[in-house]
Structure 1
Amino acid sequence: MRRWQAWTLHRRVLVASAAAVTFVIVLGVAAYVTALDRVLFSAAQDAARVQAAEVASVIHDGEQPAATALRDIPSQGSLLQVLDAGGQVVASSDQALRRSAITHLRPAPGVIDVDQVAGVPGELGEPYAIVVEGARDPGGAQYVVVVGTPLDVEAKTVRTATILLALGASALLALLLFLISRAVQQALRPVERIRSEVARITRVRGRGQITVPPTGDEIARLAETMNLMLARLEQSDATTRRFISDASHELRSPLATIRAAIEVSPSGTTHPDPTRDEVIHGEALRMQRLVDDLLTLAKADDGLPLSLDEVDVDDLLEAEVRRLRATGDVPVVATIAASRVLGDRAQLSQALRNLIDNAARHTEGGVQLAVSSSGDDVVVTVDNDGPPIPEDRREQVFDRFARLQESRERDSGGSGLGLAIVRTIVTAHGGTVRATQTPSGQCRFEITLPAAGPPVAA
């Protein structure tokens, strides 16, 4: 099996085809030869039946006594015998066969038996078709008429037919294998071309496309699929490079601030500097949040682990309202209705907090929160008084380190990963999140989650 798997596809197809075609040809030749042999044997038997019937008729009608019944019957190359009731040879077409019968069959009068023997005494091992018919003379004496028709001509015919068929089948097999080989090579040539183009694209770091043949067949669809895959790989590679660049930038900024704070501090001082310590502490927290967000997304790439339970979304939203009001920085208006989903409480709480903190950073007049049940879904909306996100950028905002401006500056407290984490968590729960706008034209983010069924009564 290992050797078979190590062969090329062309070789495997050729060997399998050769085995299948050879099997079919051998079966066909064997069936034809067997049928030909049976037909020739049946013809020889019919001729022998005619001769046996003629001799039996002479004895039965009393035209000749049994001892001379073969005098006027031409043998036509066959061996003829007349046996009495004791099995003794009464008459024979060949004097060498007068001593013993060439068959042991002894049918009753009017009954015919047939047999095939490999040879008879005095002959050179040639096969014979034997027909034996019982007869009765007018005096009531019983006899057996034996006719042995040689099958040497039939045997030679079968051997010749077998040889000719074997030669023809071999030539046909060779022709078929040649045609199959050419067909497989022709079919695999586009695949090899695709492989070489993919190898070339790999050498130039995944940039380029495969030439799609104009055939519209499976090979063309394979090329189209490969182009889609290469485009996704190129996009993924670009995203990865951009992600690394953005992460490096985000980490460089707090590190530079911490380094500057340390370098400008007077050397040898024993008195703490509250301002410097506050700066270092704030930047360290910022780096910690960034690292935590990166770890969350890294876990999500391998499949976000969820601890599923029934979660009251209205309770989560009320907790966020209390948190915002406790800080006193942003006015909050909430419209909360009882809503329950099946999910991970900690993950859903993080998603809501990220979305609400994002709205709080981009508002001046306040944040409006709402949760309600709509059919089989729970809908959470987070509004702020900022302008809505442009329609052509509403998907991009959920990318990692996404920006709506070309500047690399971040708004305070943001890592650029919050909305990406929101989408990751919501998608893991079978829901959706989208950027849209309120009826009055303000910015809105909307989360839709599958609602949990009604609680089971105790």
Structure 2
Amino acid sequence: MPEHRRYVSTSLRVRITTATTIIVLLVLAVGAAGFVLLLRSQVSRAQSTTARQQAVQLARETEADGVLPPFEADEVIIQLQRGGHVVAVADDDFAQVPPLPVSSRPQVVRLMGERWAVRSSRVRLQDGVVQYIVVARSLEGADDATRSASWLLGAGVPAVSLFVAALTWTVVGRSLRPVEQIRSDVEKIGDDPSGRIVAPPGRDEVARMAETMNHMLARLETARHVQQRFVSDASHELRSPVAAIRQHAQVALLHPDATTLTGLAEVVDTEAARLEELVSDLLLLARVDERRSVNRQEIDLDDLVLAEGARLRALGVRVDATGVGPARVVADIALMTRAVRNAVENARRHARTTVALGLHDDGGHAVLRVDDDGPGVPVEDRERVFRRFERRDDSRDRDRGGAGLGLAIIAEAARDAGGSARLDTSALGGARLEMRLPTSG
């Protein structure tokens, strides 16, 4: 595998793993910091509340007895203050501690290298003298718990992040493995759309992508075969009139007495007209294939049909247009005009005496029928003749059958307008060409 190909896959794996790890690390770090701060606040608040309760209880006892009761504890300082001076202490070990702050709100002071939560309560003696019981409780235990939690989380957060990184790296690698296999299969297929991708098991997004790509390759293969056949048929049809012109020209050059200038001109004019018609049809179909029918507009379909009926009458054909009613459709004007003409011309070529035209609105669809009293079309050929360059065996003569693009253009025009075209048996005994097109209303 080329190195740059491997780098693309690996870099995606690295980016996903890195992004996931950074996000997890940030979330865990913020959560750990919040937990440590909350733990420190809650433990400190608990010590402060205990100090307040002790201060109130000692204040009641002092008011009753007039003296501060003794209390010995290494983590509790109890002072009786008057006028900002220490009058007594519950434990002589803390006799040298300076007066603690007296306040109605919780306070934290630093003494002897530690933090202490300080609370106080007022004492009113019988002689009216106001004193204060001040209790300070050590926060060393709270600080130890906070430090332990900090160390634990400080080690745990990176460890969890590394675990997530390893897990993400493994999962992403396994997830991208089918994608890499699909890429490798596509690279092996190259320019040959007949190959297929091996779809991974399951119904996840990657498996569905592989199925979609196989469907795309199948459509490309079909389009390639159609294009190859189209090019082959088109080249054959284009060579035929050119060959006919050259043949008559060479006869005129080698045997001047065998032909006349008028006869040569008639042949050239006829074959050039056929060549021009064929090229126009090919260009029209090419535009339809490229989805370039941008001239869609509302069309009075009955005007097109009646105009073609009048043209046939001028050629001496008996035309029955009594069944033509009003109908409006949205279509490419050039494509639809050519389709209507092809339908009428197809009926004229095969009709014995009469061509019947019909058009009516059938509840949201304009139904166009072109009937003739000719030999009709066998059931087994009614779908095949709509293909490009397809002609029935009894229509191989160029003067009658054309190049096999007339019905193909009709089918494409119907599909382009959102409708359909089909062949059936007419009431006159011949063929009926029917187009169903959505109306503009």
Q: TM-score if structure 1 supplies the norm length?
A: 0.84
Q: Distance in 2 between matches of 1:376 and 1:167?
A: 74
**CA spacing shift, 1:106–1:200, aligned 2, 3 Å:** closer
| 1:349-360 equivalences in 2 (<5 Å) | 349-360=337-348
Q: Is the 8 A contact 2:391 2:401 kept in 1?
A: no
Q: Is the 8 A contact 1:369 1:381 kept in 2?
A: yes
| Partner of residue 35 from structure 1, selected from 27, 33, 38 | 38
Which secondary structure does the structure 2 equivalent of 1:214 belong to?
A: coil
Which secondary structure does the structure 2 equivalent of 1:400 belong to?
A: coil
Q: Distance in 2 between matches of 1:172 and 1:218?
A: 29
Q: Distance in 2 between matches of 1:133 and 1:152?
A: 23
1:216 aligned partner: 203
Q: Which has more helix, going by share of residues?
A: 2
**CA spacing shift, 1:96–1:408, aligned 2, 3 Å:** farther
**CA spacing shift, 1:390–1:224, aligned 2, 3 Å:** farther
Q: CA deviation at 1:366?
A: 4.1
Q: Distance in 2 between matches of 1:230 and 1:364?
A: 47
Q: Give 5+ residue unaligned stretches, structure 2.
A: 1-7
Which secondary structure does the structure 2 equivalent of 1:80 belong to?
A: strand
2:411 aligned partner: 423
* Counterpart residue identity of residue 97, structure 1: V
| Partner of residue 227 from structure 1, selected from 198, 214, 231 | 214
2:21 aligned partner: 18
Q: Is the 8 A contact 1:134 1:145 kept in 2?
A: yes
Which secondary structure does the structure 1 equivalent of 2:190 belong to?
A: helix
Q: Distance in 2 between matches of 1:127 and 1:432?
A: 90
1:178 aligned partner: 166
The answer as to 2:80 corresponding to 1:82 is yes
Q: CA deviation at 1:414?
A: 1.9
2:239 aligned partner: 252
Q: Distance in 1 between matches of 2:175 and 2:247?
A: 66
Q: Is the 8 A contact 1:14 1:177 kept in 2?
A: yes
Q: CA deviation at 1:268?
A: 11
Q: Distance in 2 between matches of 1:283 and 1:302?
A: 30
Q: Distance in 1 between matches of 2:396 and 2:159?
A: 76
1:386 aligned partner: 375
Q: Distance in 1 between matches of 2:195 and 2:153?
A: 55
Q: Distance in 2 between matches of 1:367 and 1:116?
A: 110
**CA spacing shift, 1:182–1:438, aligned 2, 3 Å:** farther
Q: Is the 8 A contact 1:376 1:451 kept in 2?
A: yes
Deviates more, 1:423-432 or 1:287-296: 423-432
The answer as to 2:224 corresponding to 1:237 is yes
Q: Distance in 2 between matches of 1:145 and 1:42?
A: 19
Q: Distance in 2 between matches of 1:405 and 1:44?
A: 106
Q: CA deviation at 1:229?
A: 0.8
Q: CA deviation at 1:404?
A: 4.5
Q: CA deviation at 1:431?
A: 2.7
The answer as to 2:144 corresponding to 1:147 is no
Q: CA deviation at 1:307?
A: 5.3
Instruction: Give CA deviations for 1:63-113 in whole Å, capped at 9, x if unaligned.
Output: 41xxxx26x2214322222221x2222234523324xx332x344xxxxx3
Q: Distance in 1 between matches of 2:422 and 2:254?
A: 52
Q: Is the 8 A contact 1:129 1:149 kept in 2?
A: yes
| 1:343-422 equivalences in 2 (<5 Å) | 343=330, 346-364=334-352, 366-384=354-372, 385-391=374-380, 394-404=382-392, 410=398, 412=400, 414-422=402-410
| Partner of residue 115 from structure 1, selected from 96, 107, 111 | 107
Which secondary structure does the structure 2 equivalent of 1:296 belong to?
A: helix
**CA spacing shift, 1:241–1:297, aligned 2, 3 Å:** same
| 1:121-136 equivalences in 2 (<5 Å) | 123-124=112-113, 126-136=114-124
| Partner of residue 292 from structure 2, selected from 297, 303, 309 | 303
Q: Distance in 2 between matches of 1:389 and 1:137?
A: 126
**CA spacing shift, 1:322–1:47, aligned 2, 3 Å:** closer
Q: Is the 8 A contact 1:191 1:219 kept in 2?
A: yes
Q: Identity across aligned pairs (percent)?
A: 36
Q: Is the 8 A contact 1:106 1:134 kept in 2?
A: no
Q: Give 5+ residue unaligned stretches, structure 1.
A: 108-112, 454-458
**CA spacing shift, 1:187–1:449, aligned 2, 3 Å:** same
**CA spacing shift, 1:41–1:264, aligned 2, 3 Å:** same
Which secondary structure does the structure 1 equivalent of 2:390 belong to?
A: coil
Which secondary structure does the structure 2 equivalent of 1:266 belong to?
A: helix
**CA spacing shift, 1:408–1:141, aligned 2, 3 Å:** farther
Q: Distance in 1 between matches of 2:254 and 2:427?
A: 59
Which secondary structure does the structure 2 equivalent of 1:247 belong to?
A: helix
Q: CA deviation at 1:345?
A: 5.0
* Counterpart residue identity of residue 338, structure 1: G
Which secondary structure does the structure 1 equivalent of 2:214 belong to?
A: helix
1:110 aligned partner: none
Task: Give me the CA root mean square deviation.
Answer: 3.0
Deviates more, 1:365-374 or 1:409-418: 409-418
Q: Distance in 2 between matches of 1:310 and 1:363?
A: 28
**CA spacing shift, 1:11–1:445, aligned 2, 3 Å:** farther
Instruction: Give CA deviations for 1:183-222 in whole Å, capped at 9, x if unaligned.
Output: 122122122212211221225x111222233323333322
